[in-house]
Structure 1
Amino acid sequence: MPCADHSTIHEEADTYVARIKDPYADQRKFSEAFRSLGLDVELRVIPVSPSAAGEIVSLGGGNAPVNVPIGARKEPADCDLADSGCFMVVTVPAAIKGTPDVVHFELGRPAKPGEPYENSRQSATRPGEPLAGVKVSGRTVDDVLAEVGKHGLSAEFRRVVVHEGGYTVEPLAADQVGGDWIVFKVISTREGVVGLEVTAERQTGLEYAD
């Protein structure tokens, strides 16, 4: 069935397949079309850091059979979803039809000035990000702040709390951070601002990218 101009949903091999030509414009129609089939499926367009704009940022939800996973891709694979010849293709197992499970797909769009990025765990050193190619993990706060300044950026801080099975991060005021503290990761937070995830000393429970 059609879900918007040049966009369709059809069923094949116990899976619903949707091809959306303009997901930025058609997100509401996309969700409505799936609901009319008895599936609670949402397409969300969220503000993201530069390297994730035009990308399918995340997907999840539902209790899909392992052999019929929830999926999303671009068609052609290397196209820009903002272009007229690019489709977003999503697959949802028919097995979740009529269940209360919500399946969501998130598509990144460029953030407005001052708007927080919702892909908040994106490394600021990956290609396309403000500190692309800069080594930060394992260096001192003073060293990394010098790099941040060179790139015309400002910084916020988060304390890394290591615990059994992983770690969490929590906000930290700048005046609580020592220059000799160790940076674990730097993330993109909003235009012109990066977040330094730090510890007072090097932690054996963290995998530094050095």
Structure 2
Amino acid sequence: MRNIHEPLDRLARVHDGELTDQVSAAGAQALLASIVAGPGATTTAVTAPSPWRLRMPRLVAGALAAGALVIGVIVGPGVLGDESATSYANSAIAIELDGDQYVARIKDPLADHAKYTEAFHAVGLDIDLRLVPASPTAVGKFLSVRWSKSSGAGPARSASGGSLPTLKFTPENCGEPNQAGCELTMRVPADYTGNMSLSLGRRAEPGEEYKNPDWATAPGEMFGGVQLQDGRPVDAMLAEARRRDLTVEFSRIRPDAETGALSFEPLSADQVRGDWTVWHAWQVKAGVIRLLVTPERLPENPFEKGARPPS
């Protein structure tokens, strides 16, 4: 006798990003349509957006009748056709159309970013969203926004003139997206065109390094309020770090004589003298700050020219 579990095993490996249909039998097609529609709803035949395809084995009807399999699918016009869906949900994010905007509700801020991208693509938005570990004041804020299109200097805009997505905590001022009962929602114009990559701050897990190291001297950050534009002695900055109960790391700044490009050499504390100059500070992770130093005073602060941390 043929093993009934063989087709079930194949179906069990289908991921939520692969759910569409390509049904060969009329009976199976009607069955799938009834699952999509739900109890009491009008049955409508729909087709799935490429490239995700699910080939339904011939024994699926029998398997479903045996109560061995439950399939979840996205619901909405064009869900399984050539047009984009109006809603999509997976374990990381849920997106639905609200008037002339898509509302994305982030359910799991620690999920693989591919889950977010999958959902945006399903509703026709070319958005790559990444939630990255950040310092407390950067949680729920965009750390970087990048876009690309065939022409023009700025991001593509919707017919209403909007470009950047907007963010909101639910309930308002609840804190941060990792916090229990606190969700971050993002609104994007439904007619938005263009490609966009977004980096959004989330609360760092214990030991995780921040993706916004350059914010160290900003208000509310580890070295908030410390002025380093003109350079400060190492001894003075060590005293400030102790006052704030911070662990200090060091990197020596090495400017390239020809190009002016900067490289950074990590140093141990015993390699740094108290009369060296601190030109900048990076926050590494909770409670740890890195001071960027030179043995001699430079003619000007290299970070005033827009030097950035190495990626």
TM-score > 0.5, shorter chain as reference: yes
Shift of 1:194: 0.2
Greater percentage in helix: 2
The more displaced of 178-187 and 125-134 is 125-134
Name which of 193, 200, 215 aligns with 1:94: 193
Amino acid at match of 2:164: G
Shift of 1:39: 5.6
Pick 1 or 2: higher relative contact order, CA cutoff 8 A, min separation 6: 1
- Mapped partners of 2:260, 2:188: distance in 1: 32
Amino acid at match of 1:184: W
Greater percentage in strand: 1
Aligned alpha-carbon RMSD (Å): 3.4
Q: Which residue of 1 aligns with 2:77?
A: none
- Mapped partners of 1:204, 1:62: distance in 2: 38
8 Å CA contact 1:43, 1:105 repeated in 2: yes
Shift of 1:23: 6.0
Unaligned runs of 5+ in 2: 1-85, 158-162, 305-311
- Mapped partners of 1:81, 1:20: distance in 2: 16
Q: Which residue of 2 aligns with 1:44?
A: 130
Aligned length: 197
Describe the superposition over 1:14-66 as per-residue Cα deviations: whole angstroms up to 9, x where unpaired.
xxx64323364586553113333566532111111121112122121423643
Which SS does the other structure have where 1:158 is aligned? strand
Describe the superposition over 1:80-125 as per-residue Cα deviations: whole angstroms up to 9, x where unpaired.
56375753234695245xxxxxx421111111222111222222x2
- Mapped partners of 1:47, 1:67: distance in 2: 25
Identity among equivalent pairs (%) = 30
When residues 162 and 127 of structure 1 are mapped into structure 2, their CA distance, relative to the original with a 3 A threshold, is same
Name which of 280, 290, 299 aligns with 1:195: 290
Q: Which residue of 2 aligns with 1:68?
A: 156
Q: Which residue of 2 aligns with 1:171?
A: 265
- Mapped partners of 1:74, 1:207: distance in 2: 34
Amino acid at match of 1:52: A
Q: Which residue of 2 aligns with 1:159?
A: 252
Unaligned runs of 5+ in 1: 97-102
Q: Which residue of 2 aligns with 1:186?
A: 281
Amino acid at match of 2:210: Y
The TM-score with structure 1 as length reference comes to 0.74
Q: Which residue of 1 aligns with 2:225?
A: 133
Q: Does 1:19 align with 2:103?
A: yes
Q: Does 1:35 align with 2:121?
A: yes
When residues 115 and 20 of structure 1 are mapped into structure 2, their CA distance, relative to the original with a 3 A threshold, is same
Pair member with larger Rg? 2
The TM-score with structure 2 as length reference comes to 0.52
Shift of 1:160: 2.2
Describe the superposition over 1:112-160 as per-residue Cα deviations: whole angstroms up to 9, x where unpaired.
222111222222x222212222334411111101111111111111222
When residues 44 and 62 of structure 1 are mapped into structure 2, their CA distance, relative to the original with a 3 A threshold, is same
Q: Which residue of 2 aligns with 1:2?
A: 87
Q: Does 1:56 align with 2:148?
A: no
Name which of 194, 209, 228 aligns with 1:116: 209
When residues 35 and 21 of structure 1 are mapped into structure 2, their CA distance, relative to the original with a 3 A threshold, is closer
Amino acid at match of 2:95: S
When residues 67 and 108 of structure 1 are mapped into structure 2, their CA distance, relative to the original with a 3 A threshold, is closer
Q: Which residue of 2 aligns with 1:100?
A: none
- Mapped partners of 1:127, 1:62: distance in 2: 32
8 Å CA contact 2:176, 2:203 repeated in 1: no
